[in-house]
Amino acid sequence: MNFDDSRLTAIGLLTEVHSGLMNRFQPVLSAAGLSEIDFETVIRLARSPQQRLRMSDLAAQTELSTSGVTRVVDRLEREGLVRREACASDRRASYAALTDAGRERLESVLPDHLRDIEECFTGLLGSGELETFLKSLRKIRDVVRPCATAGAAESTCPTEREAPARS
């Protein structure tokens, strides 16, 4: 058995980088009163069409269970960062939408967060390297997390609304 296998090195480096980045980002997020999952939720909403997502799509994107995403949205709703909206075409569905206060919170945290990203991640790569790296990450993401873009126009994630009707 080869313990120096490059596949082990690749996953080990990816794990170390992810852990290191999250540790680096945490103080800025905490100062803004956001946990990692809170930030992921509000930034996904901010970057979505109409700054909202179906709750099922938000759960798929964050890899939370439906009850887990409900708890996160409940907390963010109490803080005034997110609101729920009923779906006009399907009364069983609802949306999580970013509020003005949520947008303001993101706008307050993003300059420091982007500085951290630049200093310890993207700024270490040349523009060609970054473009290639992003392409590679998307290629891997599309295999390991096909629902990461659920609710986006180009998403190919099989969602409940695309499932065959039950008889």
Task: List pLDDT tens digits, range 56-86.
Answer: 999 999 999 999 999 999 999 999 999 999 9
- Please tell me the predicted confidence (pLDDT) of residue 129: 97
Please give the pLDDT value at position 81.
98
Expressed in angstroms, the distance from the first to the final Cα of the chain is 52
Give the per-residue pLDDT at 90.
82
Query: CA distances (Å), 133 to each of 33, 79, 89, 136, in order?
Result: 31, 36, 40, 5
What tokens does 3 get? 């313990």
Nearest to 54 by CA among 164, 62, 144: 62
Tokens, residue 100: 């003005």
The residue ranking higher by pLDDT, 69 or 153, is 69
Q: Chain centroid to CA 49: how far?
A: 14
> Residues near 36 by Cβ (< 8 Å), separated by ≥ 6?
22, 25, 26, 29
Mean pLDDT confidence for 101-121: 97
Mean pLDDT of the chain: 90
Q: Which two tokens stand for residue 165?
A: 């009707």
Q: What is the pLDDT of residues 2-35, one digit of tens each?
A: 899 999 999 999 999 999 999 999 999 999 999 9
Report the predicted TM-score, pTM, of the whole model to 2 decimal places: 0.86
